[in-house]
A and B are shown apart, each in its own frame.
Chain A
Amino acid sequence: MSGALEFVDAGAAVSIQDLGRSGHRAIGVPLAGAADPMLLACANALLAQAPQLAALEVALLGPAVRAVAAPVRLALAGDFAPRLTREDGRVQALSSWRSLTLQPGEVLTPGPCRSGIGYLALAGGAEVPPVLGSRSTYARAGLGGIDGRAPRAGDRLPCAAGHGAQRQAQRAFVHAGGALRVLPGPQDGHFDEEAWALFVHSAWRVTREADRMGLRLEGPVLRHRQGCGADIVSEGVVPGAVQVPGAGQPIVLGVDAQTIGGYAKIATVITADLPRLAHARPGSVLRFRAVARDEALAARREQAAALRDWVRHIEPLRADGEADESALHAGNLISGMIDGARDNMPWD
């Protein structure tokens, strides 16, 4: 049975994302995809479903959504302050990091995501048509999402309908802090030791020019070596590459970054630390620390283990005063279903 969510309010900086559109970078198609794939996996895990299913990414203000015609199961990963508005107008505050069933006519208002970025997952995933193998929204070229753009009030988003016992995480999924780890290069040779020392020892403030494409940073001026300069013959880039244009103020590329770039890149953030970039906001302070390749691999392993551990600690929603009628209706049927659905999950 199919359900749908209707956007009562579009929120701000909201987009449908899965794991992105790899395989088309040679023809200039950016990856896009969840800026924090760990949190996307968390949101989907709360619904006991595959980590890559398309969900709503919320970088500022969550969208208010109403279930249309059939109940819809949702889950929130991120530091939201959700409210549920019943059909009779009663408003109930909910916790984040949990699943819920939205009955027809009920409206979920996740509120602002205070932890920088969060995800609202839908049972079965957001059913927009895949474009070039992905549902991720890349609005600059109208790819993915709802008609290639961010949701608007009045849009309807198809998804699966259904009930289920609600689940909650025992704790928030929080990334480790500290400096962002980088591998030097590919153009670290364009900078002398002084510029490198400034790069790894300075506090870099995120400017207002910060979005899914990249973060423009502010700090001491990184001078290029004489004879090297800021401009290179354009070549492939990746999210996490730290470009340094002529003015010496770095730009860290994000998941929507274009596929090639013409500025010298002093260093590149390791894969495991990319999700942390998604939480930076104008005014945030970033630091960088160079590591060796083996630490980059160890970090990937630790991150995957941390996600598995977090998922293992998902539990049935405690009866903490949040009356959940659907859970009461379906509770005696559900525990077996959930255990069944959890089999063969990629993190088990």
Chain B
Amino acid sequence: MSTPRFPRLLPLGDASWIVEYGSSIEEAVHERVMGLAQALAVGKARGQWPAIVEWVPAYASVTVHFAADEQGDAALDAATALLALARDTAPLSRPGRRWRLPVCFDAEFAPDLDELARARGLSPQQVVALMIGTAFRVYMLGFQPGFPYMGGLPAALELPRRSTPRTAVPERSLAVAGRMCAVYPWRSPGGWHLLGRVPLALFDATIADDPAWLLPGDEVRWCAVDRATFDEIELGVAAGTLRRRSWLDAAVEDA
């Protein structure tokens, strides 16, 4: 009997392992990733894995970072147990929280909407309809603090990244590229297509125990808001009167 190829450990320097569950972006693989991430969290809470500093779930892997001091090779010592945990842990199929988040598709926020629509033979209205009709899955956070890589973009909207990235993407831009959707929490260079803007801050370091709004495993549905509503929400966010939980998708949660 041949050994299954996954999961396997790949060395990332002398203090980290990449636990790899596959080499493709698919929900079933990500459910295994989320399973291991949860198992590590549970173990840590019980005082296990003292040498593990943190772990980073991604599309198809969990990167586990160990303390690198002179006491020993903590990563090597834990390798066998980590691989066993990776093999034995069940997938986590239940998604995290389900959100319904506002986005404004007005032209001033959506410089690439017309171009993407044209490139895919759709009207801008059809693009918006596809965006708000899709349940996106947060696979991982990266690129910037709180930047969510969300999968599930309909094939009809698939388009490679811009050949020339913008030097400055405005903060809170909703963007798509390939089969992915994301929001830029900060102004930065970026090559994705900008389709709208979100009136919410997806990362807030002052919420020290929960700075990132979205977490891997969460589900996001977008709802279109007009400019006046966008401004109102933005003001509410600035005044601190809007709680994150008010954007949980109650309809789904109650079902």
Question: Which A residues form the contact surface with B (CB < 8 A)?
Answer: 22-30, 131-132, 140-143, 183-187, 232-238, 240-241, 258-260, 265, 268-271, 293-294, 296-297, 300-301, 304
Contacts and interface: CB of A to CB of B under 8 A. Distances in A.
10 contacts: A25-B65, A28-B143, A142-B186, A143-B145, A143-B205, A183-B13, A233-B59, A238-B16, A259-B142, A296-B14
Q: What is the predominant secondary structure among interface residues of chain B facing chain A? A: loop
Interface in B38-65: 53-63, 65
7 pairs of A and B residues whose beta carbons are closest in the complex: A236-B63, A260-B142, A186-B10, A268-B13, A296-B14, A27-B212, A28-B141
Nearest to B23: A233
Interface in B172-189: 185-186, 188
B145 A29 contact: yes
B90 to A, nearest CB: 20
B14 A183 contact: yes
Contacts of B56: 25-26, 236, 259-260
A297 B73 contact: yes
B173 to A, nearest CB: 15
Contacts of A297: 14, 70, 72-73
A141 B186 contact: yes
Contacts of A132: 205, 208, 211
B102 interface: no
B146 A27 contact: yes
Q: What is the predominant secondary structure among interface residues of chain A facing chain B? A: mixed
Nearest to B41: A26
A140 B188 contact: yes
Nearest to A292: B14
Contacts of B211: 24, 27, 29, 132
Interface string B204-233: 010010011001100000000000000000
B125 interface: no
Contacts of B185: 141
Nearest to A301: B70
A230 to B, nearest CB: 14
Contacts of A234: 58-59, 140, 142, 149
